[in-house]
Amino acid sequence: MSAKRPCSDPAGNDSRKKQQLESVAFPTESPQGILGEGGGIQATRIPEQKIESKTTGTRCTDPDEEPIKLFSSDQRLADLKIDEPTCIVCGKYGEYINHMTENDVCSLECRDLDTDMNGPVRQKPTSAQIIPGVSSGYVADNVHAKFTNYVETKEVAAMPQDQIMAMRKAHLIKVNGTLIPHPIVSFDQCRQTLGDTLLDNLEDMNWSMATSVQRQAVPAGLAGRDLFVVAPTSAGKTGAFVIPVLVHCQTLSKMHRYKRRYGPYALIMAPTRPLCEQIESTIKRLARGLPNTRTALLVGGVAQAEQLYRLRKGVQIVVGTPARILDVATYHPHVLRLWRMRIIIMDEADTLMGNTSKEVRQILGKMPDKLVRQYCYFSTTIQHADVMNKMMRRQQRVIEIHIGQRDEDAEENKLVKKLRMNTDVRQTVLWVENASKVKRLTSILNDPKYYQPPVVVFVESRLGAEYLMRTLQKRRASRHWRVIAIHSDMEREERNAILGAINKPEPEWDVVVATDILARGIDLPTVQLIINYDMASSLENYIQRVSRAARPPGISQREQHRRGWAITFLNEDHAFIHRALAKLLASRPPGQVTPMPGQLRKFVSS
């Protein structure tokens, strides 16, 4: 154990250095120790210590130095105002460094606990430990993949190539890569790897049958392979990465004898707080009954002290936004411990690399390259292709999975070719001047042909949401509607309550005026009509808004056939997006787009 105390160097200069202590241990026998005559540990002063400086390699002795503290109770509290190091075990002043783990500790007592939890395993292998089997060619080279050792069942392994191709074609799955695991039909085909508890939790969530993206991404993720997945909203991307993450965390936890402070093992990044909360909620539901599986949510708007406390207690999976993760990693690195992460997941990766690319790169830069990690990127669109190509350099033997047919028309706008859209939402564009927007909106909401509550009305700003909500509440023709606004300035609990009220079988709100906080990653299974009162700022955001009216997987077959509808108000204020939007709508089948206004049709032939 190294002591953080001054020691004179050969030049005679006193400096604060890391010094090596030799042969320091607890007394093992004591006739009358601190525990009484029954024996125990005696808190006697350690004799003069021989100290070796890691910096100079010299030895020095200081008989006047205070003894090494034996117990945590002997140590003082850390002064957090000056960012003093804290003990990894008890949180007191981390005066010493455990040379077995390089962690800060406060005493010999905590050193032994830290070594037991985090130090190298010295005991001989027992039957309780995992012994890696013979891995198949499709299994990755990272540690958790080798020990999870995903093996296809006989039924899946024997699937002929023509049947595999037919399944992928039927589910619009396009795959690129080498040594790709065969797709699955149901999660029961992975029972040997998933285990009964996880399968039961999947059944409770009505997830027994895999969606299109899960059929290929889950077995590839269980094999530990790096993934780049592009799939529409509500395609089941969350389950596609959460299921493998839970399995691998169980494997790593078992390797480390279920020590709760040995993690975290997995880092999941998403661009918004609601999406992070939704991901963590899914993890908790699927992790019921799994030993030593805890999560920490690192997002803004929540007291950081609570998040740090959760991390110190020990977690296996961290979910958060890049800004808060970077903040914790910068100022509390020994609490988050990024260097222990073995699985990195980026949900809505295209947005992350567009709006928060700097923070993401800084987070990844804090992870040492000596570990072979698993990198998985999931996205709805591919707009920042150049940035994503740079991110893919970290990946090895990557498997690319695209759900939905690609548009190969070389004459289409380059941006449109990179976007993927849901195919079950009918789209209507209306040319409406700003002065007529409220009148047109109330007209649509009063028309039984369109009105199917709850209706989500998207606006561009918080003030716009509050103004439109009050306007609808005051209009005589709309007094029977239950109208609410939702935006980022609201408290998290208030937003969660509104979302819960929307998603009930009998929704409590008829009209929800929202900013783009509802546009990405949030499941709204009861919403069939969305109205773009203010046009989105980009084509990507437009697609995310429209996707809120898509039918998500897991609902009844009857509901799946009820197509959603998206109505967009457009005028000259949005001239910057006219051409791209026109080309995008023209690329859809005729039944999915109503006739475009003349102001857009002129761009189709150009």
Per-residue tokens: 192:
């040997």
Are 361 and 508 within one domain?
no
* Least confident among 76-85, 177-186, 408-417: 408-417
Are 232 and 258 within one domain?
yes
Domain boundary among 382, 405, 428: 405
Does residue 318 surpass a pLDDT of 60?
A: yes
Are 225 and 307 within one domain?
yes
Q: What is the model's pLDDT at position 135?
A: 57
Owning domain of residue 113: 67-119
Domain boundary among 119, 134, 162: 119
Q: Provide the domain count of the chain.
A: 3
Are 246 and 308 within one domain?
yes
Are 369 and 468 within one domain?
no
Residues 144 and 521: their CA atoms lie apart, in Å, by 28
Q: Does residue 18 fall inside a structural domain? A: no
Q: Does residue 37 fall inside a structural domain? A: no
* Least confident among 45-59, 301-315, 390-404: 45-59
Q: Does residue 282 fall inside a structural domain? A: yes
Residue closest to 43 by CA, chosen among 1, 73, 5, 4? 73
Q: Does residue 542 fall inside a structural domain? A: yes
Are 434 and 306 within one domain?
no
Are 465 and 507 within one domain?
yes
Residues 89 and 95: their CA atoms lie apart, in Å, by 13
Q: Taking residues 234-262, what's their average pLDDT?
A: 89
Residue closest to 412 by CA, chosen among 578, 172, 606, 600? 606
Q: What is the model's pLDDT at position 328?
A: 94
Are 392 and 452 within one domain?
no
Are 327 and 414 within one domain?
no
Q: What is the model's pLDDT at position 367?
A: 87
Per-residue tokens: 80:
């957090």
Q: What is the model's pLDDT at position 66?
A: 72
Q: What pTM was computed for the model?
A: 0.57
CA distances from 592 to 250, 549, 589 (A): 45, 13, 6
Per-residue tokens: 573:
């204020």
Q: Does residue 56 fall inside a structural domain? A: no
CATH of residue 543:
3.40.50.300
Q: Does residue 12 fall inside a structural domain? A: no
Are residues 98 and 106 in contact, defined by beta-carbon separation less than 8 angstroms? no
Does residue 20 surpass a pLDDT of 80?
A: no
Are 88 and 151 within one domain?
no
* Least confident among 110-114, 165-169, 334-338: 110-114
Does residue 130 surpass a pLDDT of 70?
A: no
Residues 569 and 585: their CA atoms lie apart, in Å, by 14
Q: Does residue 21 fall inside a structural domain? A: no
Q: Is 143 left (phi over 0), alpha (psi -120 to 50) or beta?
A: alpha
Q: Taking residues 535-549, what's their average pLDDT?
A: 84
Q: What is the model's pLDDT at position 197?
A: 93
Are 182 and 203 within one domain?
yes
Domain boundary among 386, 405, 424: 405
CATH of residue 109:
3.30.60.220
| pLDDT tens profile 444-488 | 988 888 888 889 999 988 888 888 998 888 875 556 788 999 988
Are 370 and 415 within one domain?
no
Are residues 316 and 296 in contact, defined by beta-carbon separation less than 8 angstroms? no
* Least confident among 65-69, 211-215, 510-514: 65-69
Are residues 569 and 534 in contact, defined by beta-carbon separation less than 8 angstroms? yes
Q: Does residue 184 fall inside a structural domain? A: yes
Inter-axis angle of helices 437-445 and 462-474, nearest 10: 60
Strands of 394-508, DSSP E: 399-403, 425-431, 455-458, 483-486
| pLDDT tens profile 376-407 | 999 887 766 666 677 778 888 899 999 874 44
Band (pLDDT 50/70/90 cuts) for residue 119 is low
Q: What is the model's pLDDT at position 477?
A: 57
Does residue 182 surpass a pLDDT of 50?
A: yes
Largest CA distance in the chain: 97
Q: Please provide the size of the chain in residues.
A: 606
